[in-house]
Amino acid sequence: MKPIRILQFNMQFGQGWDDADPDHAPINMDATVAEIRRHNADIILLQEVEHVRPGGTHPPVPPNYSRLKQELAGYHSTFSFPRPDPRELPFGIGLAIFSRWPLQPTVCVNLPSPPVEFDFFGEKKTPTDRLLISANVQIEGREVRVMNTHLLAFFMLNASSEEHHQQRDLVESELRKSDLPTVLSGDFNVDKHESLVEQFGAAGYRTAQDTEITWRRMPFVLDHIFYNAPFRCIGCQVCPTMTSDHHALVADLEFTD
């Protein structure tokens, strides 16, 4: 069979990149859709699909996800918000999986955030919880588990995920539970990514790449595509894009037998 192409992309709710003023770059969902389409992926894993609303409420119909469902005709998909939380800051939120194959029921795992205080424009804040979602697909008669997550950026709170490792441990636990060929993709927000690669490696997972920077704001490898032994990676590319503060990451996987 042909390789399975995986696209990992933190789309930052359609907000592009402006070197002069990145925080006020315009939102352009047309460009986001074009960026996603151009990779011709079989499985698409997206973070920060939606823009946080005031008060941390969720719209009954997620607008960006709804647009993507229309634009990505022929794909099956699922989407999840984390729990509504009035502490949410005005950034990106929500995870989506798109697949050329039907998706079996999605599992959502809440990833609690510790009460680490930080300053946000003169106000003391604590971070909101994060999420991991997963679904199974049948590919050429084989059941495959697909996972998507977006962890808290402790390095932006003057802390570290090595110190506060509960979210990472919960994700690792989900990896260890899987007895299927499994792909885990996401924005892991770990600045010292070597420790993350080592941790998930001990659970039997490799990352498709850990040398090229995937984030424009700081020289960090935040985005990964992890896979376990039933797969091998036959190609991987970090694809620079001006449609987000993250680059797109594409990996081609094939079964080992």
**How many Cβ atoms are within 10 Å of 235's Cβ, its own excluded?**
12
pLDDT in tens, 51-103: 999 999 999 999 999 999 999 999 999 999 999 999 999 999 999 999 999 99
pLDDT score of 105 more than 90: no
Question: Is 214 a residue whose pLDDT tops 90?
Answer: yes
- From the candidate CATH numbers 3.40.50.300, 3.40.50.720, 3.60.10.10, 2.40.240.10, the one assigned to the domain spanning 4-255: 3.60.10.10
C-alpha span between 69 and 75 (Å, rounded) = 8
Query: Residue 115: what are its φ and ψ, rounded to 5°?
Result: -80, 60
Between CA 52 and CA 201 the distance in angstroms is: 33
The domain locations on the chain are 4-255
% residues pLDDT > 70 (the chain): 100
pLDDT digits (tens, 9 = 90+) for 147-183: 999 999 999 999 999 999 999 999 999 999 999 999 9
Does the predicted TM-score (pTM) go above 0.95?
A: yes
